Amino acid sequence: MSTNPTCLPGRSTLVLPLRQAPLPDATMARVLAQQANARELDYLLDYTSLPAPVRIPRPESVHVMLADVDDLGEWLRVLGGEIHVSPEFEGVELWTLHTTTEPREDGSATRVLVSVPVPSGELVMEWIRAAVRR
C-alpha cells in the first residue's frame, strides 16, 4: 500500500481549466482607459508627491478623496482648476477640484476630480476659496 497522499482510492477525474473568455471590445476599451488613467495619476503623484490617500480610477476620469481642505489647496496650487461646492447636507459640503493632468504627446489629458468634505462655515484660505466656481 502506498503512503503517497495523491494516491486516493477510486477513480480520478482530470479537470482542465478553461481559458478565460475574452472581454467584448467595448468592455476592453473601458478597462484599458481606466488603467491608463490610473497609470497617469501614478506618474503625477510620483513627480509631485501630492496627497492622494484614496484613488478611484474610472474610464473617463480619476477621483481622489482627501481628508483636509488644505490638501485640496496643494492640488489647486500644482494643477490649477476650478472648485465646485455641493449643497450643504447634514452640516457638510463636498468641495471638488476639477482639473486635468498635463497633456500627453497626443494632446489628451486625464480628468482628475479631487474631493474633500468641508464642514459648513469652516474657515478656508482665501486663495482656495477664490477658485470656487460662482
**Could you read off the pLDDT of 85-94 as tens digits, one per residue?**
999 999 999 9
Alpha-carbon separation of residue 23 from 28, 36, 56, 78, 127 (angstroms)? 6, 17, 22, 38, 47
- Which band of pLDDT confidence, cut at 50, 70 and 90, is reported for residue 46? very high
Q: What tens digit of pLDDT does each residue of 3-32 get?
A: 555 666 666 666 666 666 666 778 888 999
Domain boundaries, the chain: 25-129
CB within 8 A of 89, min separation 6: which ones?
A: none
Is the pTM above the cut of 0.85? no
In order of 71, 122, 123, the CA distances from 19 in angstroms are 45, 55, 57
